[in-house]
């Protein structure tokens, strides 16, 4: 399952005169050829990327023939305006050529045997610290009283779903979506953003949201009867069921009530997670027919004080294998775009996505897993990220997913900042109390990275693997830890 956000197509594609439809077709064809089975077309943030009758479109108020300092761009810098214009001009070109972007998108999906879904962002707050940014629609601009906490500079400016006006505003978009587009599924993306209620009001808010969702379910079922085929309802929620519930997003309760058909547990944005507890979700969903898809983000960050970088194909394969082996029905990719700055060569992108349709195929690819952290927590939720880890002897646990056979080398890498080590530093590493063989070290991006060959016989089946690191009493501060499986070298 692949989510295409509301601007990526327009930002990366050139729209020739009279060729908007063909350009959309080629884009869908590319993704279909690369093994995507379900495409989720995101149509909104705080505006829509099509000519909506109920919400502002992205280009409302924009003069394509005007200068970069036109009133529409008054609240952003000229260099930002130049970048925005590419996206806006492409959206306008599609609209002016008489093409309804989502409708054409779905028409091509059906022709290629790809299941078409719409994903609606239920509380997107990009650029909330700049109220004049043209990203924002008029509803948000004119109603700061509808925000959770307007004095908060960012997430407090998410809309408050305890307000009837906010729920009604989003309901109009749901109604229009179901009336206008022939889709197989509708996703309510609560991870853009999951801050729907004031602190301390989440339990009360959750009851309000559940009642609102009952109304949405009726709308979806009515649309399915009109279309004469099933339409599924999905939600994207935090990776831990207890976190989701504490934020008013009781996906398990919704599933047991029969309100939804798909749950996508996922991190928010800052990093991919390798330890989403899919088996716990599966156990909690016993007795329901709800499908589970493991959400993968494109960014990789071992802890919050390090800069993120795009996940490599090996890390993505490792995370995909983890969610499938732990009980997910599908892999769900967010921000994995064919023309994205992730830097993957297209043949690698294609082979990696194709493999994600099967755990067996994934296990034939080189893959890596790393220790990362949970980037979304409920207010008051206690949590201690595993990294950075300090001490004279550091012990960490990592779930590496399915264990490889004897044709694979298992490589452990640990990283410390170069300012904390000497050139002769050589920590000892053990896997489940069995020594790992030191291979080499290198200095890379400000880190001293040491590599070890892990004894395959020491892995414990079905459990987290214990890694211990020490260096004769020297204080350690481990910033990154990864386990990689690569084809054995003779």
Whether the pLDDT of residue 217 is over 70: the answer is yes
Looking at the predicted structure, is the pLDDT value of residue 218 above 70? Answer: yes
Segments of the chain assigned to CATH 2.60.120: 389-487
Q: How confident is the model at residue 420 (pLDDT cuts 50, 70, 90)?
A: confident
322/126 Cα distance (integer angstroms): 30
Cβ proximity of 179 and 107 under 8 Å: no
Residue 340: the pLDDT is 64
**Mean pLDDT of all residues in 176-186:** 98
Within the chain, all domains assigned CATH 3.20.20.70 are found at 2-370
Distance CA 8, CA 337 (A): 8
Across 169-189, average pLDDT? 98
Do residues 275 and 250 lie in contact, with contact meaning Cβ atoms separated by under 8 Å? no
Please determine, for residue 202, whether its predicted confidence score (pLDDT) is greater than 80.
Answer: yes
Is residue 70 scored above 70 in pLDDT?
yes
What pLDDT band is residue 168 in, cutting at 50, 70 and 90?
very high
Percent of the chain with pLDDT over 70: 99
Q: Can you tell me the distance from the alpha carbon of 40 to that of 42, in angstroms, rounded to the nearest whole number?
A: 6
The tokens of 195 are what?
Answer: 């801050």
Report the share of the chain in percent with pLDDT over 90: 92
Fold topology of 2-370: TIM Barrel (3.20.20)
SS percent in the chain: helix, strand, coil, step 5: 30, 25, 45
pLDDT in tens, 355-371: 999 999 999 999 999 99
pLDDT at 337 over 90: no
Digit-coded pLDDT (tens) for 71-126 = 999 999 999 999 999 999 999 999 999 999 999 999 999 999 999 999 999 999 99
pLDDT score of 490: 64
Q: What is the pLDDT of residue 153?
A: 76
H/E element, 368: strand 367-370
Give the CATH architecture of domain 389-487: Sandwich (2.60)
Note the pLDDT of residue 470.
96
Reported as a single tens digit per residue, the pLDDT across 241-256 is 999 999 999 999 999 9
The string of DSSP letters for 248-302 reads: T--HHHHHHTT--SEEEEE--SS---S---HHHHHHHTTT---EEEEEEESEE-S
Provide the pLDDT for residue 488.
86
Mean pLDDT computed over 10-18: 95
**Using the 8-state DSSP alphabet, how is residue 147 labeled?**
B
- What is the number of helices (H) and of strands (E) in the chain? 13, 21
Predicted confidence at residue 191, as pLDDT, reads 98
Question: What's the mean pLDDT when you consider all of the chain?
Answer: 96
Q: Answer whether residue 463 shows pLDDT above 80.
A: no
Cα separations in angstroms, 329 against 109, 239, 437, 485: 21, 15, 37, 23
Phi, psi values for residue 412, rounded to 5°: -100, 135
Mean pLDDT calculated for residue range 48-74: 97
419 has pLDDT over 90? no
Using the predicted structure, report yes or no on whether residue 342 has a pLDDT greater than 80: no
C-alpha span between 109 and 111 (Å, rounded): 5
Of 37-41, 417-421, 430-434, 470-474, which gets the smallest average pLDDT?
Answer: 417-421
Residue 339 pLDDT more than 80? no
* Selection from 349, 265, 267 nearest residue 308 by Cα: 267
């Amino acid at each position: 399952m692949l989510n295409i956000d509301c601007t990526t197509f327009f930002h990366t594609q050139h729209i020739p005169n009279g060729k908007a439809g063909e350009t959309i077709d080629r884009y869908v064809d590319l993704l279909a050829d690369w093994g995507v089975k379900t495409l989720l077309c995101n149509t909104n943030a705080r505006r829509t990327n099509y000519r909506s009758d109920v919400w502002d479109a992205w280009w409302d108020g924009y003069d394509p023939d005007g200068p970069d300092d036109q009133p529409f761009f008054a609240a952003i810098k000229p260099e930002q305006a130049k970048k925005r214009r590419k996206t806006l001009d492409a959206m306008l070109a599609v609209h002016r050529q008489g093409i309804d972007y989502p409708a054409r998108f779905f028409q091509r999906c059906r022709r290629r045997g790809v299941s078409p879904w719409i994903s609606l962002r239920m509380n997107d707050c990009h650029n909330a610290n700049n109220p004049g940014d043209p990203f924002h629609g008029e509803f948000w601009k004119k109603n700061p009283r509808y925000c959770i906490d307007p004095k908060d500079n960012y997430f407090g400016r998410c809309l408050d779903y305890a307000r009837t006006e906010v729920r009604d505003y989003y309901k109009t978009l749901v109604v229009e979506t179901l009336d206008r587009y022939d889709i197989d599924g509708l996703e309510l993306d609560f991870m853009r953003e999951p801050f729907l209620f004031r602190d301390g009001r989440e339990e009360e808010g959750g009851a309000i949201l559940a009642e609102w969702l009952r109304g949405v379910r009726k709308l979806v079922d009515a649309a399915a009867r009109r279309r004469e085929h099933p339409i599924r309802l999905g939600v994207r929620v935090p990776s831990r069921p207890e976190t989701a519930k504490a934020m008013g997003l009781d996906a398990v309760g919704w599933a047991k009530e029969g309100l939804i058909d798909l749950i996508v547990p996922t991190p928010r944005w800052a990093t991919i997670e390798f330890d989403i507890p899919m088996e716990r979700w599966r156990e909690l969903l016993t007795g329901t027919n709800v499908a589970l898809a493991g959400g993968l983000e494109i960014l990789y960050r071992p802890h919050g004080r390090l800069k993120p970088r795009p996940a490599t194909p090996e890390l993505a394969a490792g995370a995909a294998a983890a969610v499938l082996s732990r009980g997910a029905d599908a892999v769900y990719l967010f921000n994995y775009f064919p023309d994205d700055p992730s830097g993957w060569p297209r043949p690698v992108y294609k082979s990696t996505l194709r493999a994600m349709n099967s755990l067996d195929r994934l296990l034939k690819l080189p893959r890596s897993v790393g220790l990362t952290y949970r980037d979304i927590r409920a207010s008051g939720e206690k949590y201690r990220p595993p990294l950075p880890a300090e001490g004279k002897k550091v012990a960490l646990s990592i779930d590496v997913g399915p264990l490889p056979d004897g044709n694979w080398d298992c490589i452990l890498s640990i990283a410390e900042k170069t300012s904390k080590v000497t050139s002769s530093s050589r920590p000892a590493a053990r896997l489940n109390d069995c020594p790992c063989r030191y291979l080499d070290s290198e200095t890379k991006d400000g880190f001293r990275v040491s590599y070890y060959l892990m004894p395959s016989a020491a892995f414990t089946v079905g459990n987290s693997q214990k890694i211990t690191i020490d260096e004769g009493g020297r204080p350690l501060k481990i910033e990154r830890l990864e386990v990689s499986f690569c084809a054995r070298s003779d």
